[in-house]
């Protein structure tokens, strides 16, 4: 029997309660001659009333249940808010307690606040890197084991055990052990590109570029279309100055993944570093079309700034800062772009902002000083002297130190300019010309003033006296500068020189340690590698080799100067780590010679470039 729906007329099979089309309740009407009796109608009405009442009760019950759930959720959120507030109070109390403990230990000379903060920062960085490596290993686990399964036998289970052992080694903070376990697994079960790629990433993270290169080349032999391996290999080749092959790999990565951000960004960064602005611009803009990353905007801004397009550069830097408000370099170079556009107020705001973020950066301090107008008292360079300074700079870059000194000497006869005298003093000191260095330094100090040139004069003076083993003179001048210096920059340099003087003459090592720590707290961030290296040397003299390695590793992370690398290699030898010592000493043989004098000279050149830029902006205004 079929039942017709009284609402839509659809024929429904017998036994259904609801219409298939409109979902209305079906009512079966029967009776003699198609007429409804009074009793039937009353029963139907009573049935409908009962159903309505049951529906109302069900709806009320559901609403009541929803209200109860909302109340429970509100109470739970309130308890959670209280718990978060308790945690915040607990963290604040813990932070206060740790700070009080650090200050107390610092006052009692048990441990220094700078050491605690540096160790804390290194531990946090190491933990983050370890977590990232663990994530990579866990993501690749299934692919690595599946690839080994294809070899048959017990390969899959052995490979799974190797991956698990590597994971445990990473959890224990032993990345080298993890790499050894995975390398052994790759030797036993070759043709596993996923495992080789993981090994390459582990080597790249610990800056073992040789091992990383071998691993990624192995990946590409097995899978030439691996985009990430080509990007890693291209980056390594670029870092090791094999640009042509690096470009080849990165271009192949772009061809394999034209819609990906990273191949375009990597190739754009390579072209930007090589000074090929037009090629860099094309790839960086292509990368930004695929994904907006602050670093890509920053690099594009640098390309535009170097090309003299200050407006376009400012727009790129502004976008980078909008995406990452703590991007120091982007804020600083945005200030430079504003200077080129003669917007001094905006430039000063940028420079003050980065100085607040990092007060110990000499670069930021000089930028603020120059734009605020402290440099207006410096006399302009005569045209003849400007030509000589430019020629001296070119000769110095070409390694022609004698010619550079001669040009600076001629320029100093034309003008008593702080930049000329500072450059002459530093270059003469670096070239082993003590009389020339001292004469230029004394002339500069008699001029007075402040900032980078005066810092350069004191550096040349104290470094020259210490190199000549005139320790009494260093103590007299350095001690006075440390006690009465005009600012932390000069006092930091004096403390560094006093620490090395005490060490080199075989004096009180505890006193040398005090001076070195004082220098570390005062010296600009750009030069912090030198007091760290001094601390390493002092701890080596005290036969505290683990502390020496700790400080020297921090110094190398800032400046890979051959002298610092050599000290680290010797400390590692004394500590019994022969393999790492050989690696570090090998790096020291190929590094460019650097010391405090050359680094201050580099900074002086940077400040001079900034001063020219600032003066040009004022003339445009």
Q: What pLDDT does 110 receive? A: 67
Of all helices (H) and strands (E), which one includes residue 11?
Answer: strand 11-13
* CB-based contacts of 352, cutoff 8 Å, min separation 6: 368
**C-alpha distance across the termini of the chain, in Å:** 97
pLDDT tens digit string along 129-164?
788 888 888 888 888 888 888 777 777 888 888 888
pLDDT tier, 590 (very low <50, low <70, confident <90, very high otherwise): low
Residue 217 or residue 148, greater confidence? 217
d(CA 68, CA 183): 59
pLDDT tier, 603 (very low <50, low <70, confident <90, very high otherwise): low
d(CA 81, CA 93): 18
Q: What is the distance, to the nearest Å, from the Cα of residue 305 to the centroid of all Cα atoms in its chain?
A: 22
d(CA 311, CA 221): 46
For 241: left if phi > 0, alpha if psi spans -120 to 50, otherwise beta; the answer is left
d(CA 228, CA 361): 36
Mean pLDDT of 491-512: 89
Mean pLDDT of 19-42: 66
Share of the chain above pLDDT 90, in %: 15
Residue 97 or residue 28, greater confidence? 97
Strand ranges, E, within 372-485? none
pLDDT tens digit string along 68-122?
888 888 888 988 888 888 888 888 788 777 777 777 776 666 677 666 776 777 7
CB 534 within 8 A of CB 547: no
User: Which pair of structure tokens corresponds to residue 508?
Assistant: 């009180």
Helix (H, G, I), strand (E, B) or coil at 37: coil
For 506: left if phi > 0, alpha if psi spans -120 to 50, otherwise beta; the answer is left
Q: What pLDDT does 374 receive? A: 45
CB 160 within 8 A of CB 140: no
CB 218 within 8 A of CB 233: no
Mean pLDDT of 268-286: 91
CB 453 within 8 A of CB 604: yes
Share of the chain above pLDDT 70, in %: 86
- 195-199 long-range Cβ contacts below 8 angstroms, 24+ apart: 195/140, 195/144, 195/147, 195/159, 196/222, 197/140, 197/226, 197/228, 197/229, 198/136, 198/137, 198/140, 198/144
d(CA 338, CA 321): 14
Q: Determine which of 135-144, 217-226, 245-254, 305-314 has the lowest per-residue pLDDT on average.
A: 135-144
d(CA 359, CA 328): 12
Pairing mode of beta strands 11-13, 2-4: antiparallel
């Amino acid at each position: 029997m079929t039942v017709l729906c009284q609402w839509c007329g659809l024929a429904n099979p017998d036994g259904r309660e609801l219409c298939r089309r409109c979902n209305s309740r079906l009512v079966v009407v029967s009776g003699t001659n198609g007429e409804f009796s009074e009793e039937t109608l009353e029963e139907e009405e009573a049935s409908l009333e009962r159903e309505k009442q049951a529906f109302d009760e069900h709806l009320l019950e559901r609403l009541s249940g929803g209200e109860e759930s909302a109340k429970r959720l509100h109470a739970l959120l309130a308890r959670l808010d209280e718990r978060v507030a308790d945690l915040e109070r607990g963290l604040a109390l813990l932070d206060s307690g740790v700070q009080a403990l650090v200050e107390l230990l610092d006052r009692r000379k048990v441990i220094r606040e700078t050491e605690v903060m540096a160790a804390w920062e290194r531990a946090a960085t190491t933990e983050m890197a370890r977590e990232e490596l663990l994530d990579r290993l866990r993501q690749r686990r299934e692919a690595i084991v599946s690839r080994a399964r294809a070899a048959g036998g017990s390969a899959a289970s052995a490979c799974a055990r190797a991956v698990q052992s590597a994971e445990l080694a990473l959890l224990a903070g032993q990345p080298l052990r993890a790499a050894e376990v995975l390398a052994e697994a790759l030797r036993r079960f070759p043709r596993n590109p996923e495992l080789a790629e993981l090994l390459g990433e582990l080597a790249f993270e610990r800056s073992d570029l040789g091992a990383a290169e071998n691993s990624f080349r192995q990946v590409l032999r097995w899978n030439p279309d691996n985009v990430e391996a080509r990007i890693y290999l291209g980056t390594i080749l670029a870092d090791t100055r094999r640009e042509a092959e690096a470009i080849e790999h990165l271009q192949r990565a772009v061809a394999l993944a034209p819609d990906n951000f990273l191949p375009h960004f990597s190739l754009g960064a390579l072209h930007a570093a090589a000074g090929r602005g037009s090629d860099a611009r094309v790839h960086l803009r292509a990368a930004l079309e695929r994904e907006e990353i602050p670093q890509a905007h920053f690099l594009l801004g640098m390309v535009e700034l170097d090309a003299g397009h200050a407006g376009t550069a400012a727009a790129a830097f502004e976008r980078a800062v909008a995406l990452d408000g703590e991007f120091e370099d982007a804020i600083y170079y945005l200030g430079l772009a504003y200077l080129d556009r003669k917007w001094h107020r905006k430039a000063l705001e940028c420079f003050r902002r980065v100085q607040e973020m990092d007060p110990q950066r000499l670069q930021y301090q000089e930028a603020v000083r120059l734009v605020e107008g402290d440099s207006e008292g410096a006399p302009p360079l005569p045209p003849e002297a400007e030509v000589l300074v430019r020629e001296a700079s070119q000769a110095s870059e070409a390694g022609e130190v004698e010619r550079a000194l001669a040009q600076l000497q001629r320029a100093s006869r034309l003008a008593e300019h702080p930049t000329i005298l500072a450059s002459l003093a530093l270059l003469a000191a670096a070239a082993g010309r003590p009389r020339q260095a001292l004469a230029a330094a004394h002339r500069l100090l008699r001029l007075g003033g402040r900032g980078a040139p005066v810092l350069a004069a004191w550096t040349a003076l104290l470094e020259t006296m210490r190199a000549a083993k005139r320790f009494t003179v260093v103590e007299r001048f350095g001690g006075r500068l440390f006690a009465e210096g005009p600012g932390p920059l000069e006092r930091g340099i004096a403390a560094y020189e006093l620490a090395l003087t005490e060490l080199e003459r075989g004096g009180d090592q505890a006193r040398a340690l005090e001076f070195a720590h004082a220098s570390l707290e005062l010296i600009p961030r750009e030069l912090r590698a030198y007091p760290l290296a001094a601390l390493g040397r002092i701890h080596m003299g005290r036969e505290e080799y683990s502390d020496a390695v700790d400080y020297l590793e921090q110094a190398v992370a800032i400046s890979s100067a051959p002298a610092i690398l050599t000290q680290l290699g010797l400390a590692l030898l004394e500590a019994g780590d022969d393999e790492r010592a050989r690696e570090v000493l090998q790096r020291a043989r190929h590094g460019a010679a650097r010391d405090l004098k050359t680094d201050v000279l580099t900074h002086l050149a940077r400040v001079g470039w900034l001063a020219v830029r600032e003066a040009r902006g004022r003339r445009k205004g």
